[in-house]
Amino acid sequence: MAMKLETVVPFGRSLDEYIKMFNLTDADLTKRILGVGDGPASFNAEATKLGYTATSIDPLYQFSGAEILSRFNAVVDDIIEQVRTSPNDWVWMYHQSPDDLRQNRVHAIQTFLNDYGAGKADGRYRIDALPHLTLPDQAYDLAVCSHFLFLYSEQLDYSFHLESIQELLRVSREVRIFPLLTLMRQRSPYLDPILQTLGEQGYFLAIKKVPYELQKGGNEMLAITTKHDN
């Protein structure tokens, strides 16, 4: 058993993790990037500081910074304890240990909170939720979705996944999703039928190895390119 969560939890990642999870090149970083379900990730704050254009969407942004921190504090110790008691399910390369993982997540949310007020005022943190977004067609060049789609396959059904991915393809020219495993470290049962459906619809699909692995075996992302780009 790798991880048991009843609902989606606020557990954010850094810009460096996004670069590795999604194979982001220097050219990718200059694009209009949409972070989907970013939660308290420091990705947007760090990218903005470097002059990049990033927008993050999450229903979590209906809450204040203090409320988001409270939600994080309510789950972080349980998550780390589950990780600590299943040591063979994790790869300790990027993160050195469960304690290091916790420290990195705390640093990410602190960086996020320091930017949250300004980012909301600038429209960089938007309240929005899959499978139906309020964004206009093709508003972004690249949408990245970290630790939400496929990971929560037990909590979110096939229809939700397919509709969500099709919605992301409506608002962005390319979509990248990481990881392709569930919380239980199994390949998502929705992956193959989604690949078949999107392939039949004319999208270009590629599963790519990435230089990031925390869940053992979780080192692949799905890249989907819209028909307009080919």
Alpha-carbon torsion, ordered 166, 109, 219, 176, to 10 deg: 20
The answer to whether residue 2 sits within a structural domain is: no
The answer to whether position 192 is within a domain reads yes
Average the pLDDT over 181-206 and give the result.
95
- What per-residue confidence (pLDDT) applies to 3? 43
Q: Which residue segment(s) compose the domain that 106 sits in?
A: 15-229
Residue 8 belongs to a domain: no
Residue 5's pLDDT band, with cuts at 50, 70 and 90, is very low
CA distance 31 to 10: 26
Give per-residue pLDDT as tens, 106-159.
Answer: 999 999 999 999 999 999 999 999 999 999 999 999 999 999 999 999 999 999
- CATH number, domain of 90, equals 3.40.50.150
* pLDDT tens digits, one per residue of 66-120: 999 999 999 899 899 989 998 889 999 999 999 999 999 999 999 999 999 999 9
- Which own/partner contact pairs does 56-64 have at CB distance under 8 Å and 24+ positions apart? 56/119, 56/124, 56/125, 56/126, 57/125, 57/126, 57/127, 57/128, 57/129, 57/133, 57/135, 58/125, 58/127, 58/128, 58/129, 59/127, 59/128, 59/129, 60/10, 61/120, 61/125, 61/126, 61/127, 62/127
Instruction: Examine residue 92 and state whether it is found in any structural domain, yes or no.
Output: yes
Number of H helices, E strands in the chain: 7, 7
Number of folded domains that form the chain? 1
Evaluate if residue 216 carries a pLDDT over 60: yes
Q: Is the residue at 209 inside a domain?
A: yes
Asked, for residue 58, whether it belongs to a domain, the answer is: yes
Q: Is position 9 within any domain? A: no
- List phi, psi (to 5°) of 26: -60, -40
Encoded tokens for 96: 């050195």
- Banded pLDDT at 44 (limits 50, 70, 90): very high
Q: Is residue 91 part of a domain?
A: yes
**What is the value of pTM for the model shown?**
0.93
